[in-house]
Every structure is written in C-alpha cells, then in structure tokens.
Amino acid sequence: MFKRNLALLLVVMLVASMFIGCGSKPAEPTEPAATPTDATPAAEPAATPAAEVEQVLYWNISGEPKTIDPGLNAASDGGHVINNMFEGLMREINGKLEPAIAESYTMSEDGLVYTFKLRDAKWSDGQAITAQNFEWSWNRVLAEETASEYAWIFDEANVDSFKAIDEKTFEVTLKAPTPYFLGLTAFYTFFPVREDAVAKGADGAWAIDPAASIVNGPFMLESYIGGDRLVLVKNPNYWQADKVKLERIEALMIVEASTYLTAYESGSIDALLTPPTEEIPRLIAEDPTFYILPQDGTYYYSLNTEKVPMDNINVRKALSLAIDRKAICETVTKGGQVPALNMVSPASYDADGNLFSEKLGGFGLAETAQIEEAQALLAEAGYPNGEGFPKVELMYNTSEGHKQIAEAIQEMWKQNLNIDITLTNQEWAVFQDTRREGNYEIARAGWLGDYSDPMTYLGMFLSESPMNYPRWKSPEYDALIESARTAPGQERFEMLYKAASLMEEQYVNIPVYTYTNTLMVKEKVVGWEMTTRSTWFFGFAEITE
Amino acid sequence: MSNKWDKLSKQETMKESIRPSLTYWQDAWRRLKKNVLSMLGLGVILLLILYAGFGNAFTDWRYSDQKLDMSNLPPKLEVFDVGDGITLYVHKEYTLYQIKDNGKIIEKLELPTANKDMLKKQNHYTLEGKNITVDYSFAAKAKKSNDPNAIKFQLLVDDKVYTVPTSKIGNGVYRFGTDGLGRDLFARLVYGARISLLIAFIATMVQFFIGVLYGGISGYIGGKVDNVMMRIVDIISTVPLLLYVIMLMVVIGPGLKTICIALGSVYWVNMARIVRGQVLSIKEQEFVLAARTIGASTWRIMVRHLIPNALGPIIVSLAMMIPSAIFTEAFLSFIGLGVNAPMASWGTLANDAVPGLRSYAYQLMYPSLFISLTVLAFNFLGDGLRDALDPRLRK
C-alpha cells in the first residue's frame, strides 16, 4: 500500500515538475519586453534614404558591465555605456568642458557657489529635465541605502550642499574652491536619473530594462541581453539630436581578447578597447587603425604594512628598487606604457604649471633596477642575500595581463634579491574584498584618476580611506591632505607635495607604470571621441564609406 | 600404444601438453601485444613519461628562467645571411637578433630609442660597421591586401636589400621556442608534463579504486544497501566541482594537492554508477551462480568474476577520464584554483598561448600537441586493454 502511494506521489511530482518547467518559460526576464521594440528598427531604414550608409556601430565593451546605473556604477566598462546614454551638467568635447544639460553656469567670486542654468532639454520619454532631477539624483547617490560605491567622490569634490532653486536653476555650494569640480559634473556619478524610472528597480535593474530605462543622452536602450549584447538607438528627444548621426549602436560583450580582435579584423566589430598584448607590436606595424592614447592612471603593487616583512621600510624600498620597470613596459605590457616612479600619474599640473609627478620625483627609484642598493637594503633589514626571507604571497586578480606582469616581477625579485614569492590569483570581486580587508602581503592595484588633480591619487591613502590598501596610517599625512582641500592655489600644492613626499618616502606602494589606452576603431567611423577620463563618446560619430 | 587405458610414460605426457597454461594476465598481455595500435599507444605513453622524467636534461633552462629580451622566439628561425659571416633574424616585432654558430647563440641587438623611427616605420642598427635597417613600412599594405605571402618588411644592409629569408635554421638555444616572457617552452613543457600526467594518473587511480569497488559492492549486494549507497552517490554528484575546490582551497590552500583531492573526491561517482549497472546484469548470469555454488567468497566473486567482465566500460571510461582531468586542471589553474604561476601544466600553457595565437601559433601548438598525443595514446591503449581483458574473448 505504502509503495503504491509512494509511486503515485512520485508520478504526481513528476507531472507537476513538468508544468513548473513549462511555466517558467514565459516568465523569463526582459525577452518579451524586447520584442515590441524590435519592430521599430524595421521601420527606420525606410525613413532614411537607401543610398546612405547604414549608421550602425558595432562596438565591443569586453564583458557585461556590473551596472549601467550612473549612480551605482564604479567601473570603467559601465562608464563607457553610461557616457553614451546619459548626460551631466557639463560634457567633455574635444578635451574641453562644454555646457551640456546646463546651458550656462556662474561661479561666485570666492569660487564656492556654482549656479547652473539648465537648458530646455528633455528626457527620452519627452518630460523636461529639471533641477529637481539633479537634486534627487545626487541625494540618491549620497543616501546610505543606495550603497553607491562612488558616493565618496562628493567629499573629494568638496561638495557642501546643493539645491534646486527653481525648475531650471541648480545651485551647488562647495566647502572650498575646487578647480576640478566642474570637470566632475561630466562624470557619471553626477549624472541625473529619473525618480520614477529608478523606482522600477532601485538596485540598478531599471537601467538594463528597456521598458523602464529613461535617459537624457544621445542614445537610449533598445534591448539588453546579458552576456551577449546591449543595443542602443538614437534618442530623438536628446537636446542636440540633430547632431547625432548614428542610428544604432550594437554593444557586444565579448570577453576573450583574441576573439574580439578576430571579430574586428574580419569586420564584424568597428571599435574595441585593449587588444591582446602579444599582438600589439604587430598592430603598431600593420594596422593604422590601432591607437595608443595616454591615460591618467597608475598601475602599482600595494604592500601591506601590517604584515611581516612588509612592515619594514627597507624591505619595501628594496622590493621597489629591484624592479626593472623599463623592461616591463617594453617587453611585457608593450602598449607604450611609461615607467612610473611615484603614484601620481603625469597628467596633472601644479599652480605653476609644472608636471606634478615630475616635480615630485622618484625618491631614489629609477626606470631600471638598482640591484646593489636593493640588496644592501635587504641585508640591512636582516635578510642578507634573501636568507630567511619569510614566505610572501603576491596576489592579483585573474587576468592574463596581470599574470604576465606578476611573473616578470617575481622573477626579477628572484634574480636580483634571491627571494621567493608565490603568486596567487583571485576572481575580481573576491580580490577586491581581500585587498580591502588587508588579507594579503603584496597585491596588484591600479587607479585611474577621476579628475585632473593629484588629489585623486593622494586621497586614497588617508588613514580611513577604503582604498588605503597598504594600511599605512599617518596623522600628519591626513592633516596635510585635509588642509589642502580648503587651501588656495600655490599653498595647496605645497601641502600636496609635502604629503605626497611623506607617503612616497615610506615606499608603501610599488608604482610600476602609467597606463595607456590601446584601442582600435575602423577608418569608416569618424567623429568618435575618447575623453581625458578615457571614456568613449559616440554622440557625434558617423559611419562613412 | 595399443592399450589406450595404459598409463603414459613421463615423456609422453610432455609431448601431449604443447600449450603452456597461461594465467589471466599473461593471456591479456599476449593478446594486447597483437594489437598494433595499443602497443603504439603504450609506447607513446612510456615516451611521455620518460619525457616528463628526464626531459629537462636536454635543455639548459629551468621552467621559470626568464630572459625578457628573448621573448616570443620561434623554434624555427627564418634568417638572413648578409655576408661577412653575419646572420640576422628579424623578430615578429621587427627587432633584430644576431644568430651565431648555426642557431646556437642568439643575441638581441641594442636598439636605442633614438634609432627607432616610428613615423617612417624603420629600426636602425649598426653592427660591425654595417648600417642595418629594418623597414617594416610595407606591413600595413601587406595586411590590407589580405595576401598571406605579401612582403611585410625588408632588411637594408648598407645598400643591399633583402626581402626573402636566405635560410631557415632550427633554434639551437630554445628548441621549442620561447613564450612571452622569454622562458624556454621545452623546459616548461617538461614541467607541464609532470603536473598534467600526475593529475591524470591520480584522478584515474582514485576513480578506478573507489569507483569500481563502490559500484561493485552496491550492485552485487543490492537491495537496501544498494539504495543507500546510490543515494549517497546522487548527493555527491549534485554538488558542483567548483564548490568543492573553492572550499578545499580555503581549508588546504591552492596547489597540486588540492586539485588532486578535489578531482579524486568527485570523479569516481560516474564510475560507480557504470560499474553498478554492469554488475547488476552480470551477477544474474550462470557463472556467478556456479561460483557461488562452489563456495566462492563475495570478495572473490567480485574481483575474479564480476569486475573482469565489466572491464570494457570501465576501461573506456578511464580512457575518457584522463583528458577530462587534464582539461579540468587547466581550467582550475586559469581561474586561480590550480597550480600557481610560474608553475605550468599543459593546460595553462595552452591557455597562455591563446591571446597571441595569430602571431605566435607555435606556443599553442606544442602544448596542444602533447595533450592530443596523450589523449590519443590513452584511448588506443584503453581500446586494446578492453579487448585484452575481456574474459569472454579469451581463447
């Protein structure tokens, strides 16, 4: 009896599971939502004359961005997409800041109050963009429950308060005159979003749902297929929509570098970032569509000052001295990178027009390895010829490029200092936690400046900063940086120099090189732009033949 | 010999039994020897083991030795003999190497930044009073023409022009070429062979012993025992491998040991299922009944009767297991859960070579060749073993 009941029960469960299996199909996310919009592009070619070139750009964004919600994004891959979908008060065009959603702005004489006059621009659904939108969006980023990873940038920008005076007037008050504040209004964290759109998925889900996404930039979302592609179409309500030539952008998410390079060379992709390192010398020689652009960023290794033997300044300096940065740039990374001797990338100038990083100097570091000095320092630290050097682990996030650099440096330390370092890699999300929690001895790190000022680098090493991976704490440094935030011009830079020297003299980081941006864009694509923050903008791009 | 009932003399006895009696394994070996492909497979496996064991005697480098100047040098050098005993090799990056003693010495020529003309696409060198220029300004045009034979560069020595390499010589310093960090691929492949073969060996051994015994017991005893044992198998097989590995990583730390334990703990499950299925059908056959009737113990029945008869599927599954273990290790190493750099396995070597595939195909060729050879050899051997060990085919 029991057996028969059991059998019956099993049959019932089996049949039920079949229905469950069927039921889940129609509920699959976004697929059905994308279908009605699919009808629009079919109608579009009829509207444009047949003789013209099809204005479709195929662009690889190398993998699925974590989010494309401006308020939540903290990564450069999401930044590219956001920069083409949204617009802030200002926008960088040809390296210059130009009023965008703001028609004009005035700055008070003490440089503390910015008043932005908004133009008659509309959201993609036709509603007017108001100062209240900005107020709400900025408040959203700052609200704790939003958990924005970039909320701290408001502090960095010295923003004290902001309010919408009326529909078209937005006023921002700063704690101190901040020369780079205006540039930051073109940065995604300061972009406006619509309250009713965000309400449909506050965790960023609204931004990837074509039905919910409301944007104010040149392109809007047509469909989003996770792991495959996202499709952007021209936003007819964009305030300078007449200048936007592209009808459609297919943003592909191909992760493997050799795969997207093949796709580019066979003509199925028009634009891509970071082709594989091994192919760069060939591309430089053969391909006129390959570009190397300077980038404001430093690739470095962080040394955990709380762990033995990294707590010893001589060990830290020895490790830094024993690296041949020139060899790494020329034979490992190959993309025209420049050896870095301090943390600040050579992209920001001081009040007298000197290159900040150049004036700061290398603190004894050179482009090539200084072996004798490094060995002497290691001996002084109690490890003559590397004897008795504890087991040290170098951690990097999983990537072919990071691995190559780590292996090269590991061997340099082995040959120059006779110390054995083990390499471990971790997946990016895990690695970020490990690094933040200080569970490492040496960790790879990289920082792309958010604005053209040394502060974007120096701010990281405040005692309480989450980016202070070396866990180096100096009240003097904190005090200098804090007072530099409010000090005027010349005086401010003196403090920054002093603070930077304080940090560099401790060798808590090993700067390796200054980033470059390697990219490829087909000749037929004209008018594309790469901002000084290394973000794509295709708003005024065009396909020619 | 008139009376057939008379006792034979000792000499006569010897005459009668011409064929010596063979044990099971002797017979299997005899039959295996007849299978040419299997012997070939066995030979290749032995060679690979020898290579893994003693290969490093044939190279001066260790697997971790780097020479950044010597990066991405191929195993065959297309060289230009420019007279006066100077032989030059133009690297894919359009830098110049001097080759001496028939490929035995390779030197990278000094190229100061001032001699690098990026606009004209020329690199200027001076060597023993000669002005040598590598002019690669044709490269862009060659690429556009889509002709693989188009000339990409020319070598100007004083006023002579060379476009076609004069000869092709073997790389005497790095037999299999070097990788992106100037490490000897030969040495790395030897090291990779050790790791890959070790992992393949351990994974299959664990699978064989645990899986076969577990499945055999489960199938032979049957009933409630079978039910419980197979549910345990079900539970183990539902937990993904990656989860095990990550948990083990936390407890033991990354490395070869972790991979072996992880692979061993999961891979026997399929084998247990296969063996159980086989045993379930074989145990009903008469010879098992006969063995039981004459009082053979359970252990004896399993080891001598059931498992040899189920050997076909077991061997096939083992042969399939080896490549799968090698690939799993490569995947785990890639995501950071396997052997740490600069240690190398064939899988990681292949993985590292993929980004540079278009320029340096040889870097992918060697590891994949070794993986393919191993897989093929084990498959051939497995095939032959299946036939040789099958008692039903015994003559």
Give the contacts of B107 (CB within 8 A, at least 6 positions apart). B97, B98, B100
**In this model, does residue B386 exceed pLDDT 90?**
no
| Structural domain includes residue A533 | yes
Q: Band of the pLDDT at B336, cuts 50, 70, 90?
A: low
Residues A209 and A139 in one domain: yes
Pairwise CB contact (< 8 Å): B342 & A286 = no
| CA dist., res. B284 & res. B298, Å (int) | 14
CB atoms within 10 A of CB B352: 24
CB atoms within 10 A of CB A106: 10
Predicted structure pTM score: 0.80
**In this model, does residue B170 exceed pLDDT 80?**
yes
Q: What does the pLDDT read at residue A138? A: 95
Report the percent of chain A where pLDDT is more than 90. Answer: 61
Residues A78 and A129 in one domain: yes
Residue B220's identity, in one-letter code, is: Y
Q: Within the 278-307 window of chain A, which residues sit less than 8 Å (CB to CB) from chain B?
A: 278-279, 281-282, 284-288
Pairwise CB contact (< 8 Å): B335 & A331 = no
Q: Are A141 and A155 in contact (CB under 8 A)?
A: no
Q: Is the dihedral of CA B239, B245, B246, B251 positive or negative?
A: positive
Report the percent of chain B where pLDDT is more than 70. Answer: 96
CATH number for the domain that contains residue A505: 3.10.105.10
Residues A137 and A262 in one domain: yes
Report pLDDT digits (tens) over B291-306.
999 999 988 998 888 8
Q: What does the pLDDT read at residue B199? A: 86
Residues A246 and A312 in one domain: no
Residues A340 and A393 in one domain: yes
For chain B, how many helices (H) and strands (E)?
15, 10
| Backbone φ, ψ for residue A361 (5° rounding) | 90, 180
Report pLDDT digits (tens) over B17-40.
666 777 778 888 888 888 899 999
Nearest to A407 among B118, B139, B181 (CB): B181
Give the contacts of B62 (CB within 8 A, at least 6 positions apart). B56, B187
Report pLDDT digits (tens) over A185-203.
999 999 999 999 999 988 8
Q: Check CB contact of A277 with chain B, cutoff 8 Å.
A: yes
Please provide the size of chain B in residues: 395
Strand-pairing partners, residue B127, are: B130
| CA dist., res. A490 & res. B66, Å (int) | 47
Size of interface A-B (CB pairs under 8 A): 97
| CA dist., res. A390 & res. B230, Å (int) | 48
Which residue does chain B place closest to A395, by CA atoms? B336
Residues A269 and A325 in one domain: no
Pairwise CB contact (< 8 Å): A408 & B357 = no
CATH number for the domain that contains residue A38: 3.40.190.10
Residues A268 and A369 in one domain: no
**In this model, does residue B327 exceed pLDDT 80?**
no
Interstrand relation of A529-530 and A536-537 (parallel, antiparallel or unpaired): antiparallel
Nearest to B139 among A261, A285, A400 (CB): A285
Q: What does the pLDDT read at residue A35? A: 35
- Chain B closest-CA separation from residue A216 CA (Å): 38
Q: Which DSSP category does A199 fall into?
A: T
Q: Band of the pLDDT at A90, cuts 50, 70, 90?
A: very high
| CA dist., res. B277 & res. B233, Å (int) | 13
Helix, coil or strand: residue A28 = coil
Q: Band of the pLDDT at A47, cuts 50, 70, 90?
A: very low
Pairwise CB contact (< 8 Å): A278 & B356 = yes
**In this model, does residue B343 exceed pLDDT 50?**
yes
| Structural domain includes residue A140 | yes
- Chain B closest-CA separation from residue A440 CA (Å): 14
Instruction: Work out the angle at residue B322's Cα, subtended by the Cα atoms of residues B320 and B328, and round it to the nearest 5 degrees.
Output: 105
Which residue does chain B place closest to A326, by CA atoms? B68
| CA dist., res. B179 & res. A407, Å (int) | 12
Q: What is the mean pLDDT of residues A301-313?
A: 92
| Structural domain includes residue A127 | yes
Which residues in B lie closer than 8 A to residue A333 (C-beta atoms)? none
Which structure tokens are listed for B312? 């076909």
| CA dist., res. B242 & res. B264, Å (int) | 13
Q: Band of the pLDDT at A43, cuts 50, 70, 90?
A: very low
| CA dist., res. B356 & res. A329, Å (int) | 17
Residues A277 and A301 in one domain: no
| CA dist., res. A160 & res. A146, Å (int) | 19
Q: Nearest Cα to A483, choosing from A495, A467, A465, A498?
A: A495
Q: Check CB contact of A410 with chain B, cutoff 8 Å.
A: yes
Cα distances (Å, whole numbers) of residue B113 to A356, B110, B124, B134: 25, 10, 10, 14
Q: Band of the pLDDT at B387, cuts 50, 70, 90?
A: confident
Pairwise CB contact (< 8 Å): A423 & B342 = yes
Q: Band of the pLDDT at B16, cuts 50, 70, 90?
A: low
| Structural domain includes residue A206 | yes
Q: What does the pLDDT read at residue B85? A: 81
Residues A373 and A495 in one domain: yes
| CA dist., res. A176 & res. A200, Å (int) | 37
| CA dist., res. A251 & res. A272, Å (int) | 10
Residues A317 and A270 in one domain: no
Q: What does the pLDDT read at residue B11? A: 75
Residues A279 and A316 in one domain: no
Which of B153, B154, B258, B357 to mutate to probe the A interface, most A CBs <10 Å?
B357
Nearest to A286 among B139, B180, B342 (CB): B139
Q: What does the pLDDT read at residue A31? A: 35
Give the contacts of A320 (CB within 8 A, at least 6 positions apart). A365, A507, A510, A511
Report pLDDT digits (tens) over A456-491.
999 899 998 888 999 999 999 999 998 988 887 788
Q: What does the pLDDT read at residue A63? A: 83
| Structural domain includes residue A483 | yes
| Structural domain includes residue A23 | no
Q: Nearest Cα to A171, choosing from A183, A179, A160, A158?
A: A160
Q: What is the mean pLDDT of residues B69-74?
A: 88
In sequence order, what E strands does B57-148 have?
76-81, 87-90, 96-100, 105-108, 116-117, 122-127, 130-135
Instruction: Work out the angle at residue B320's Cα, subtended by the Cα atoms of residues B315 and B323, and round it to the nearest 5 degrees.
Output: 135
| Structural domain includes residue A12 | no
Helix, coil or strand: residue A450 = coil
| Backbone φ, ψ for residue B84 (5° rounding) | 55, 30
Structural domain including A363 reads 293-516
**In this model, does residue B388 exceed pLDDT 80?**
yes
Q: What does the pLDDT read at residue A326? A: 92
Instruction: Work out the angle at residue A109's Cα, subtended by the Cα atoms of residues A106 and A111, and round it to the nearest 5 degrees.
Output: 75
Pairwise CB contact (< 8 Å): B140 & A407 = no
Report pLDDT digits (tens) over A430-448.
888 889 889 999 999 999 8
Residue A294's identity, in one-letter code, is: P
Report how many domains make up chain A.
2
Instruction: Work out the angle at residue A502's Cα, subtended by the Cα atoms of residues A496 and A505, and round it to the nearest 5 degrees.
Output: 130
Q: Nearest Cα to B176, choosing from B380, B308, B321, B364?
A: B364
| Backbone φ, ψ for residue B303 (5° rounding) | -75, -35
Which residue does chain A place closest to B357, by CA atoms? A258
Average pLDDT of every residue of chain B: 84
| CA dist., res. B55 & res. B197, Å (int) | 14
Which residue does chain B place closest to A276, by CA atoms? B355
| Structural domain includes residue A24 | no
Q: What does the pLDDT read at residue B17? A: 61
Residues A257 and A319 in one domain: no
